[in-house]
Structure 1
């Protein structure tokens, strides 16, 4: 009957007064959408076990037409989950059978059509809006299952200032995983961990079901060690226990114990390696699961493994780990995704509340020495990679409670909460605001921006420029609708030097701008209050060539790169970052970098790399469709080498396609200006000091 409501804490369903609209709401976040039927429907609770992929809750109803949310994509699978097609502009008829329609609006949605024939098509600008529809041969009982993106904490754990209590809280963070099989390597099956707050006594809400995966991490009761193992504990759903005088170790119910601190390798390095090992190998084992796509990493790695990955699919987690631990890490290392963020926390209870936000994107966690005077070199992450140093790597290290080293990030916890309210725009919807640049700078800004932002030309961001503002004008701009704001004036410890005085960040009540840029990387702390008041991130860079740098930075941001990647590509003077540097302001196409290493003047190795984003985070796979690629799925963030090697003339065609290219370590924007001779000169310079001549 109209008004019926079903669901659980994660997802709820209800019908409107007419009974022909089904509203689906996310109980954890703010997502919502509506489906339309041709007749009034009555919702009945259904078992989530009917679906081949995990769903939080499900309902059934009878209808002859189902109109899905506008602008959704729909993949149709048979009753065994095998991919059949993606609905396109032309109607597609499906003979009687059982099908799953996988829909991608704001929440993962599955429509189970049991024993029926139907037609899938895209309606075009009717009263329901452009979008996909399913039309059944007769009135049919269909099942609707939905999985929340779970991008916010479901509950809050209270902890006292005690390492053992924090270890108990960390043991409950894995309750956010939708599955404890290798499928958890898919980011959509890893929900946001519960929040943690400091309090007088330990309290873990009953709604959080502590995982039982057969994996335990044992370690001494120190804040530093509990923080260090938190990412691995979350991903494995491990129980974290503490005892004085023991060395950190991984314990499996099958009876195996694996030391996590070895001679010559820190606990941090061991945890980083093990987490990377599990994510990569899980992604190979899951090829026998929900999605059996061909994979670049599978073809490269599987022949060198001591086991056949699909045979491990149904095994217990501890049994899988026993096999994973037998693989030499150097076999896996070239195919591990580049981790976007490593957080460096302080070894005290003050940083415990930021841990769940760091684990949501699966960030690594390291801990600084208790004496901060040890310096940046002592607190940075251990880089454990044999990948060629010329491969693009925009990873950043985020430091809690201190000014970061050059090129790194100041961790500001408020950035994570701000990001939950951010709307990702297309480049044409992005507004870039620049203050305090002269006419020559504006010309360079526009020229470089229009060069960097690839076709179509109507998909470039809007740029507005002004001279140095008054205090009131800058305050209004920071609270305005710009996605990126650059202040080209002088910045001091007191604030922004405007035409009528200095605007202190403490005088700015609200910041709606996503990213803020200033000239003067030593003034990075000025940006911290802006993030605390609403911005997502900021960058402070030396003003040696402001027009070119700001233009490149804005161009790469408009091409959907994160702030960290845009800075790594476009800012050539020292800079520091603040907030969530993995933030991207635009969503339109994949942020792609083509890495090139010349092995001869006319022969080149080529890697295809896509930056992990909040939409394609660690564990996602992507399918390149460009002609020069192998057109095989690969992990987001993992450089995929293309085969065969390409000639100089073939490489110039890649440049003309409008990609960002790193040629022998030097960045070339998508300008199309590179000629074959430019490539050959670069090759000669990089090959054993060969002379730079035609």
Structure 2
């Protein structure tokens, strides 16, 4: 079973452990309970595990929205504070680390505080609890020849993962992961892969550079993709041009249609007060649109000029550059599942090693200023290079990578940027197929605690090993945190083979490998077993060593492209530690770190940038900005980023009195004249990064008075 449900040892309630998502949370009852297995069919929505307990209340230690349906499934109430008369109810609580459903026969009251949500029954009764992992797996693998026409047939099947063609598919849990694609001599489709007939066709020239940018559209619209010109989208009686710029126009269609779906779905099962609906300047009949077939609805959406809706669209989260090569076809389902904007650059711009904005990426300043960089491993050079985080200092330092391997992708308008293909991208996540596949790997874990290992292989850098104090500052997740120093090659091999969730490495790396107490360990040459899930290699020129970890078993990590200075490296290590501990994924964590440190641009993510090591209390990644207007009053804004199973399209709100709307993710919400007391109460809810006067502080250390 992927989910374990056990009685709490030191309190009344249950511990729920999801072995697929590596998450754990507690819920509380009014008395000690022993869970009894019950039929999964007892719940209105599908569940992976179901138990029954007798209790007067069920409480979770987070602020949540409670959705109540009557015995026939009709939505009866939705909110965080209300009462219901005696009856048989299906109740859903969101967010929670798993889908959480209750079934019982009793009147009840929803009671929320600034830290908890409680379902209080009118009397003690049997409550059946259902849990569903938020893990999503593809239904199978499509085998296809790699020519563009055959690949179009495969891409036309990605929409088979959609669990509905209604606007509710804008919820991440109703999209499903697309089937995988792999090259083969003959076209083969698994039996379970059956796309709905959406009535949408996408016509593009039979070439990779035109096909790749429409892959997310093929998935989200369950569209048939066919060869032809000019590039366009077709429905019954309408068409929408994708020329003259297929990449740009496809991105516009994705953003606009998704935005309108999130508004239209408020006419369905989830009639919430949505900020985007209230704020839209577009006058459409949302009730009628909700009931239309997908193709007809899309035609109505696209009849609205993009320039009309563009000002109200949120900043999209991810752009992925997929080089137009047949060897990249296996990455397409993963890119589609993230609803990433896709570009397919035919040409690659080599990074300008001497151009503006590039100093420090490929060479170190002259020796007179070398004290700014992190220390040498060689005692003879340690005095002149005492602040260089690298290995022995040759006459002219340079990146372990050949500068010809670096590429400079075009800038993006999105928060995050990934790169699929040859080359080492500056300022983008170097995504790899093996890391994408590990996102889907399902295996039971032996323990439910999150393991973090901090390895410091140089005593001069011991200041950074204090990051161990920043992991585990959580009240809902249990951490095992260990700090080790000066490991030998053998010990380092054992560490890398262990099932550590996150490795934070502090030390030296160069083209000889990772320095250990007795020699260097070159991960690119050694036949290593790698069990570490995610990592930060906070050392000079650590890209190749990190890339080797990805190829040998890790899912994702943060590495450096050049020499890095000791002081900002230490600072960045601390920022990443707190962000990963707060539930951020690798890409978003590095994005936030770059806002604070310009030297963050010397780092990139390798592998799966969506990798997390835990969840935060709300389940979302949130970054707050505050500005004091006058004594006792603040301007407040918060950015919500998709994260884990709380992906694009999730509903979000914030527990702040002036804000009474729901928003869809990604979003930025703001409020003026927030009182000091309201702000203080909010910061007590959850550990979050806060930008104040353009500097990064943390909610638990922010001095309001």
TM-score (norm 2): 0.73
Aligned to 2:361: none
Inter-partner Cα distance in structure 1 for 2:183 and 2:149? 14
Question: Is the partner of 2:425 in helix, strand or coil?
Answer: coil
- Residues 404 and 410, structure 1, Cα contact 8 Å, conserved in 2: yes
Using the TM superposition, give the Cα deviation of residue 100 of structure 1 relative to its aligned residue in structure 2, in angstroms: 2.6
Using the TM superposition, give the Cα deviation of residue 502 of structure 1 relative to its aligned residue in structure 2, in angstroms: 1.9
Aligned to 1:621: 651
User: Of the candidates 534, 540, 549, which is equivalent to residue 515 of structure 1?
Assistant: 534
Aligned to 1:420: 440
Equivalent positions of 1:31-50 (< 5 A) are: none
Aligned to 1:77: 69
Question: Is the partner of 2:273 in helix, strand or coil?
Answer: coil
Equivalent positions of 1:528-677 (< 5 A) are: 528-541=547-560, 542-544=563-565, 545=567, 546-570=569-593, 572=597, 573=599, 574-589=602-617, 590-596=620-626, 605-627=635-657, 630-642=659-671, 644-645=672-673, 659-663=688-692, 665-670=694-699, 672-673=701-702
* Structure 1 pair 625–275 and aligned structure 2 pair: CA distance change class (3 A): same
- Residues 418 and 536, structure 1, Cα contact 8 Å, conserved in 2: yes
Q: Is 1:277 aligned with 2:256? A: yes
Inter-partner Cα distance in structure 2 for 1:570 and 1:374? 22
Using the TM superposition, give the Cα deviation of residue 626 of structure 1 relative to its aligned residue in structure 2, in angstroms: 3.5
Question: Is the partner of 1:278 in helix, strand or coil?
Answer: helix
* Structure 1 pair 637–207 and aligned structure 2 pair: CA distance change class (3 A): same
Q: Is 1:95 aligned with 2:124? A: no
Extract unaligned runs of 5+ from structure 2: 3-17, 25-32, 112-117, 353-404
Inter-partner Cα distance in structure 2 for 1:86 and 1:653? 17
- Residues 607 and 641, structure 1, Cα contact 8 Å, conserved in 2: yes
Inter-partner Cα distance in structure 2 for 1:616 and 1:324? 25
* Structure 1 pair 508–86 and aligned structure 2 pair: CA distance change class (3 A): farther
Inter-partner Cα distance in structure 2 for 1:272 and 1:247? 17
* Structure 1 pair 645–333 and aligned structure 2 pair: CA distance change class (3 A): farther
Question: Is the partner of 1:583 in helix, strand or coil?
Answer: coil
Aligned to 1:476: 494
Equivalent positions of 1:294-443 (< 5 A) are: 294-301=273-280, 304-333=281-310, 335-370=312-347, 380=409, 383-384=412-413, 394-405=415-426, 407-421=427-441, 429-438=450-459, 441-443=461-463
Equivalent positions of 1:84-123 (< 5 A) are: 94-96=85-87, 99-102=89-92, 108=99
String of CA shifts for 1:364-387, please: whole Å, max 9, x gaps: 222121567598999736645xxx
Question: Is the partner of 2:163 in helix, strand or coil?
Answer: coil
* Structure 1 pair 322–442 and aligned structure 2 pair: CA distance change class (3 A): same
Aligned to 2:166: 181
Using the TM superposition, give the Cα deviation of residue 172 of structure 1 relative to its aligned residue in structure 2, in angstroms: 0.5
Using the TM superposition, give the Cα deviation of residue 180 of structure 1 relative to its aligned residue in structure 2, in angstroms: 0.4
Using the TM superposition, give the Cα deviation of residue 194 of structure 1 relative to its aligned residue in structure 2, in angstroms: 0.6
* Structure 1 pair 428–568 and aligned structure 2 pair: CA distance change class (3 A): farther
* Structure 1 pair 394–220 and aligned structure 2 pair: CA distance change class (3 A): closer
Inter-partner Cα distance in structure 1 for 2:628 and 2:308? 24
Using the TM superposition, give the Cα deviation of residue 460 of structure 1 relative to its aligned residue in structure 2, in angstroms: 8.9
Inter-partner Cα distance in structure 2 for 1:651 and 1:60? 39
* Structure 1 pair 228–378 and aligned structure 2 pair: CA distance change class (3 A): farther
String of CA shifts for 1:330-372, please: whole Å, max 9, x gaps: 5544554444432222212111111112222222222121567
- Residues 167 and 264, structure 2, Cα contact 8 Å, conserved in 1: yes
Inter-partner Cα distance in structure 2 for 1:602 and 1:30? 41
Q: Which structure carries more relative contact order (alpha carbon 8 Å, separation 6+)? A: 2
- Residues 449 and 555, structure 1, Cα contact 8 Å, conserved in 2: no
* Structure 1 pair 609–29 and aligned structure 2 pair: CA distance change class (3 A): closer
String of CA shifts for 1:463-507, please: whole Å, max 9, x gaps: 543333211111111222433323333222342122222212142
String of CA shifts for 1:261-299, please: whole Å, max 9, x gaps: 23xxx2111111111111111011101111112122222
- Residues 626 and 637, structure 2, Cα contact 8 Å, conserved in 1: yes
Aligned to 1:242: 227
- Residues 484 and 515, structure 1, Cα contact 8 Å, conserved in 2: yes
Extract unaligned runs of 5+ from structure 1: 1-10, 12-25, 123-130, 385-392, 677-694
Question: Is the partner of 1:639 in helix, strand or coil?
Answer: strand
Q: Is 1:502 aligned with 2:520? A: yes
* Structure 1 pair 328–377 and aligned structure 2 pair: CA distance change class (3 A): farther
Aligned to 2:375: none
User: Of the candidates 141, 149, 156, which is equivalent to residue 164 of structure 1?
Assistant: 149
Aligned to 1:232: 217
Aligned length: 607
Inter-partner Cα distance in structure 1 for 2:53 and 2:468? 50
Aligned to 1:390: none
- Residues 510 and 540, structure 2, Cα contact 8 Å, conserved in 1: no
Inter-partner Cα distance in structure 2 for 1:424 and 1:554? 23
Inter-partner Cα distance in structure 2 for 1:424 and 1:645? 47
String of CA shifts for 1:533-581, please: whole Å, max 9, x gaps: 2212121235312322212211121111222222233352121220112
Question: Is the partner of 1:274 in helix, strand or coil?
Answer: helix
Inter-partner Cα distance in structure 2 for 1:87 and 1:294? 15
Using the TM superposition, give the Cα deviation of residue 655 of structure 1 relative to its aligned residue in structure 2, in angstroms: 7.0
String of CA shifts for 1:75-123, please: whole Å, max 9, x gaps: 43235213256799xxx88524x5333367887576778xx6577999x
User: Of the candidates 535, 545, 556, which is equivalent to residue 526 of structure 1?
Assistant: 545
User: Of the candidates 169, 183, 193, which is equivalent to residue 198 of structure 1?
Assistant: 183
String of CA shifts for 1:5-36, please: whole Å, max 9, x gaps: xxxxxx9xxxxxxxxxxxxxx9x99999xxx9
* Structure 1 pair 120–315 and aligned structure 2 pair: CA distance change class (3 A): same
Aligned to 2:11: none
- Residues 453 and 460, structure 1, Cα contact 8 Å, conserved in 2: no
* Structure 1 pair 402–615 and aligned structure 2 pair: CA distance change class (3 A): same
TM-score (norm 1): 0.74
- Residues 468 and 488, structure 1, Cα contact 8 Å, conserved in 2: no
* Structure 1 pair 647–159 and aligned structure 2 pair: CA distance change class (3 A): same
Question: Is the partner of 1:485 in helix, strand or coil?
Answer: strand
Inter-partner Cα distance in structure 1 for 2:622 and 2:79? 26
